[in-house]
Amino acid sequence: MFPGDFAKRVLLAAVACFIISYLLCPNGVAEPTDDPIANSRDPRLDRTVDFSSDGSRVTEVLANLSKSTGVALVAGIDDKDWMVYDRKVVIYAKGMSLRDLMKEISTVLRFKWKQIGEENQWTYQLVQGEDQRAEEESLRSAAEDTEKKRYREKRENVISDLLNLISLPVNETAGLKTSNPWRYVLATEPLGRELAAFINGSPEVRNAIVQGLEITFPVSSLPTNLQDTVRRLATSYDSLLHSIGATEDHADLISRFDKLQITINPKNTGQQVSFLAQSILGQITIGTITDHLDIPILDPSSKVAQALGAAIVALKSGASKDEVAKQLQSDLVAAAKSSEYKNQSDRDITSDLALRRSIQLFAEQTVVTYPMVLKKLAETTGFNVVSDYFPGRPVSMEGGEKTLGEYLELVRNLFGANWEKVGNTIRFRDREWFKKRTWEVPQVWIDYWIARGDVNDGLQLEDLVQIASLRDEQIDNTIMLHPKLVNLGAGDAARNRHILRFYALLNDTQRTTLTTTQLEASALTDQQWAALQKALASAGAAYAASVKGSQTIKLEQSGSDIIEHKFSYYPTPNEQPITFTVRTGLVYRTDKEVVIPPKRVVVPAPSER
C-alpha cells in the first residue's frame, strides 16, 4: 500500500466517524456515556418543578422532590454515608426540569448520580465517586500546603528583618521614618530589640511563630535570662502603648511575673476584620486569663503596619492625638479598600447584557444570611439559583441599586462563594467547600443531643463530654452556630472543652475517685496528664508545665435546677485551686427513651490532639 492511499483511508475513516457521531448527536458532540442523567431516556426527568430549599440537607431535598415528582431520588450509598446525605443545598427554582435540577445539585456538591433498579422505574442515587473523593482530598491538601508555605515564609522573613533592623546604625534608621514607619518603630524602640531577643532566645518559641502553632507555658519555666527578656518585652510594649495614649494599667501584672503565662499564637474565637487579620502574622500573649498584654507580630509590608507606625511616629513627634486619630482612621479605611481590591476577581461582568442589568436587592444596608440573599436574588431577577451551603454568621450587606454582576461579586466577597451563570441559572459554590466539609458533624448526633436536651431540660455532663471530644473546628464552626444546641448548654462544652477532654480519658474507677475523694496526679497516665496540662494552660494557669507529682484534682457537684460541676486542681495542699465550672440543666427521669446512635466514622479522621 502506498503512503498516499493509507493517508486517504485514514482521512475517510475520520470523516465517517465524524458523520456518524453527528447523526447520533444533534449537537455534533458525543455525550459522555457515564452520565445517567444526561443519557437517560426516562421521560419523568423532563417534568418541570418549582422548588425551594433554604439550606436543607440534600437527603431531605431529594425526599421532597421524590414526593412531588414520583421519581425515586436518594442520597448516599447507605444510612452511614452521612458525608453525602448530610450536605446542605440552597435552591430557588421555577419551571426547571427535574433533569436540570438534578444536574445542578450534583454539580454544586461535587457528587454524581447512579441509575439503579428497573427500566422505567429507575431509582437515582446521589453518591461521591472515588475520583471526586480524591479531588476533595487533593484540594484540601494543596490549599493547606500553599497557604502554610506562604505564611511560613512571611514569618521567617519578619524574624530575619527584625534581627537586621535592630543592628542598623542610627544614620540608616532615619530614612525608615518616612519610607517604612513600622520598621522604624521596631528599629528604634526597645520593643523591637526585646522581641528579637525573645524569639531567637528560645527555639520552641521561634518554631511556634514560624509554623503558626499555638503553645502555652508559664514564664517560670523559662531560663532566668529569658524571664528577664520577657519582663523587658512586656514593659517596653506597655510603655509604647502609654506613649500613644493607652490608659490601661498593667503595673500589677508586670510585677508578678512568676505567676504569668505566655501563649504564642493564642486561638482567637472571635472574628477579626479580614484586612486586619491578614496583617497579623502571629501574637505573643503575656499574663493571666483576665489581665494580659497581647503583642502582635505585624507584617511590616502591610498597609495596616504602615498606618500604625506612622501614627506612633507622629505622636512621638508632638502631633495632637485628634490629628493623628483622624489620619489613622483615613489610613485604615484606605487599607481596607486596598484589601477589598486584592480580593476582587477578574470576572467579566460587562460583556453579558444580563449582568449589566440594574437591580436592587435591599434598599439600605441590611444584616442578612446567605440563603436570604440568594432567595432575594432569585425573586428579583427571575433566575434559578442553586448553591451548596455551610451555615455561617449573618453579615451586613450594603443596599442600593447595582448591576447584577456587581451584586454577584458582592456575594462572592461577603460569603466566599464563586458564581457561574449558565443560561437562566446562577450557580454558587463555596470557595473552601473541601475545607468546610471537615467542620461538619453528623446530623444524627446533633438530633441525639437535641433530643437528650429536650428530655432532660438541658444537656447533661456526658453530653457535654461528647461534644467537647469533637475537633475544635467542628465545635467552633458547627456546634456553636447551632442555636438550639447553644440554648441547651453546648456553649459550656466549648468553653470547657479541654477539662472535659481530660475527664473523657478517665476510666470508671478514676471518675469515682474524682467525685468521692481526690484523684492524685501520680495516678494519671501520660496521656491523661498531658490533657490536664492543656486544660490548665487554657485557663492561664502557671502550673501547666509542672512535673507530675503530688498534685490532686477533685470534681464536686452542687445545685438543683442548675447543676454546677466544679473541677478543682490543687498544685499543693496550701495553695488556692485552679477551678473549671461546667453548668448543666435539671435532670429528671422520663419514660421517653432516647437511644444513642451507633458511632459514626468521621471523615477525615480526627487529628491527634
Q: Given 309, 341, 373, which residue is the final one in a domain?
A: 341
- Say if residue 122 is in the same domain as residue 185: no
Domain that holds residue 451: 443-584
Q: Which residues contact 77 (CB under 8 A, 6 or more apart)?
A: 84, 125, 127
- Say if residue 186 is in the same domain as residue 277: yes
Model confidence over 436-445: pLDDT tens digits?
A: 999 999 999 9
- Say if residue 450 is in the same domain as residue 517: yes
> 554 pLDDT exceeds 80?
yes
Q: Which residues contact 509 (CB under 8 A, 6 or more apart)?
A: none
Residue 596, in any domain of the structure: no
Concatenate the DSSP letters of all residues of 45-80 into one string: GG-EEEEEEEEEEHHHHHHHHHHHH--EEEESSSTT
- Say if residue 308 is in the same domain as residue 168: yes
Residue 72, in any domain of the structure: yes
Residue 347, in any domain of the structure: no
- Say if residue 319 is in the same domain as residue 269: yes
- Say if residue 381 is in the same domain as residue 453: no
The Cα 432–Cα 308 span in angstroms is: 32
Buried b (16+ CB within 10 A) or exposed e, 349-380: beeeeebeeeeebbeeebebbbbbbbbbbbee
The Cα 553–Cα 539 span in angstroms is: 15
Is the pTM value of this prediction over 0.85? no
Q: Given 287, 316, 341, which residue is the final one in a domain?
A: 341
> 539 pLDDT exceeds 80?
no
pLDDT confidence of 34, banded at 50, 70, 90? low
> Which segment of 79-83, 127-131, 377-381, 581-585 scores lowest on mean pLDDT?
581-585
Query: Could you give the percent of the chain with pLDDT greater than 90?
Result: 46
Residue 489: which of 389, 360, 586, 381 has the closest Cα?
586
What's the pLDDT at 115?
93
What's the pLDDT at 9?
37
- Say if residue 186 is in the same domain as residue 272: yes
- Say if residue 221 is in the same domain as residue 311: yes
> What is the overall mean pLDDT for the chain?
84
The Cα 587–Cα 585 span in angstroms is: 6
CA distances from 593 to 192, 453, 454, 456 (A): 62, 12, 12, 11
Number of domains in the chain: 5
Inter-residue contact 478 to 440 (CB < 8 Å)? yes
The Cα 553–Cα 293 span in angstroms is: 30
Inter-residue contact 265 to 209 (CB < 8 Å)? yes
- Say if residue 328 is in the same domain as residue 391: no
- Say if residue 298 is in the same domain as residue 157: yes
- Say if residue 404 is in the same domain as residue 521: no
Model confidence over 316-352: pLDDT tens digits?
A: 888 888 888 888 888 888 877 766 545 555 577 887 8
What's the pLDDT at 1?
39
Place of cell 493517508: 7
Element (H, E) at 314: helix 303-316
Domain CATH for 413: 3.55.50.30
> 12 pLDDT exceeds 50?
no
Inter-residue long-range contacts of 573-581, CB under 8 Å, 24+ positions, other chains counted: 578/536, 578/539, 578/541, 578/543, 580/496, 580/499, 580/535, 580/539, 581/496
- Say if residue 72 is in the same domain as residue 160: no
